[in-house]
Structure 1
Amino acid sequence: LVVVGCLLFGTKRGALAASIGLGIFDLLHGYASVVWETILESLIVCLVIHLIYEKLLKKNDKIGNIITVGVVAAIVKIIVNIIKYTFLRGMIVGGLALTPAFIQAINKITGTFGSAIFTVVAVPIVYPLFKEALKRVRR
């Protein structure tokens, strides 16, 4: 939904909504110690969406561009999680060497791969629906 929010409302408002929404979710579900990580991850994804969709693609929301944004956002999320779990959790906190930390990171982010696939599939389906609904609400 971070991607759809950025596409519908722009990356500044999308980043704000993602930070608040995901931050509150983490606080309410026992993840207070990692709220900052969640917010940082979403801000990185929003920044990449800004660079790709708003700057490079000039907010042209033809379906090919929306698919591209979904794929890029999914890849960025995977990369950010690999970096987080390899360096922050594995090496700095866990004291592991690079290779074991990387292997542990890959094992930890299996859910991220699932959400990445969901993002790639859902964004081109959900975005046009929400865009149309938003147009109707604004009339």
Structure 2
Amino acid sequence: MLRDQQNTLRAVILTGLFAALIYIGVWVLRIPIPAMVGRPFIHFGNTLTVTAILFLGKRNGMLAGLIGLGGFDILNGYLAVSWLTMLEVIVVALIISGLFKAFGYVDSKRNITILAITAGVTKVFTSYLASIIEALMVGTSFKTALVASFFSLPATVVNSISTAICAPFLYFSIKKIYALVQTRRG
């Protein structure tokens, strides 16, 4: 939606707004899930990050995700692994932005749904790799890290399914509200 307006004051404000919403989306609804590696939990931060990337474009959406998810990790006891979260945001942003570009930035319901599903699947893989790295950081053997990380994926799978379902609804709702506001202003 705002892909071509990265440096406008409006884009900067919306980036900050999305960053705050992402942080709040993690902070407000956090349902911890027992895991062998890390302290995963169910939250809406990933869904909001994907929505930000789709709405604001790769750069500003990625910045919103880095600030929102990374900021949450830094301020809430996940400092040692915050870099992994931020790396995951970058990977997801690059993949769905590249696919969106391949779709010619046509934001049909079909394309946005495919992008949301792709983001969810990507997040499962990046979280698995991040969990392996996290396990290795605390001295776990490689084979044990592979297995333990696999059994630590339930929260990620729930978050990914939530992203695949909710991100398209959020994107089209925000797009409609944004268009309405623009019409009333102009």
TM superposition score normalised by structure 1: 0.89
**How much does 1:90 deviate?**
3.3
The one-letter code sitting in structure 1 at the alignment partner of 2:103 is L
Counterpart position of 1:48: 95
Count of paired positions: 136
Residues 10-66 of structure 1 deviation map (CA, whole Å, 9 limit, x = unaligned)? 111101111111122112212122221111111110000111112x11111001101
Once residues 90 and 139 of structure 2 are traced to their aligned partners in structure 1, the CA distance between those partners, rounded to angstroms, is: 25
2:130 aligned with 1:84, yes or no? Answer: yes
Query: Where does 1:22-101 land on structure 2 (aligned, <5 Å)?
Result: 22-54=69-101, 56-86=102-132, 88-91=133-136, 93-98=138-143, 100-101=144-145
Task: Select 1:21's aligned residue among 57, 60, 68.
Answer: 68
Counterpart position of 1:136: 180
**Long gaps (5+) in structure 1:** none
Counterpart position of 1:8: 55
TM superposition score normalised by structure 2: 0.68
Q: Deviating runs (4+, > 3 A) in structure 1?
A: 90-93
Once residues 164 and 138 of structure 2 are traced to their aligned partners in structure 1, the CA distance between those partners, rounded to angstroms, is: 32
**How much does 1:8 deviate?**
0.7
Once residues 78 and 112 of structure 1 are traced to their aligned partners in structure 2, the CA distance between those partners, rounded to angstroms, is: 6
Aligned with 1:19: secondary structure? helix
**How much does 1:2 deviate?**
1.2
**How much does 1:137 deviate?**
3.1
**Long gaps (5+) in structure 2:** 1-47
Residues 92-116 of structure 1 deviation map (CA, whole Å, 9 limit, x = unaligned)? 5433133x32220112221100100
Q: 1:90 to 1:31 in 2, by over 3 A?
A: closer
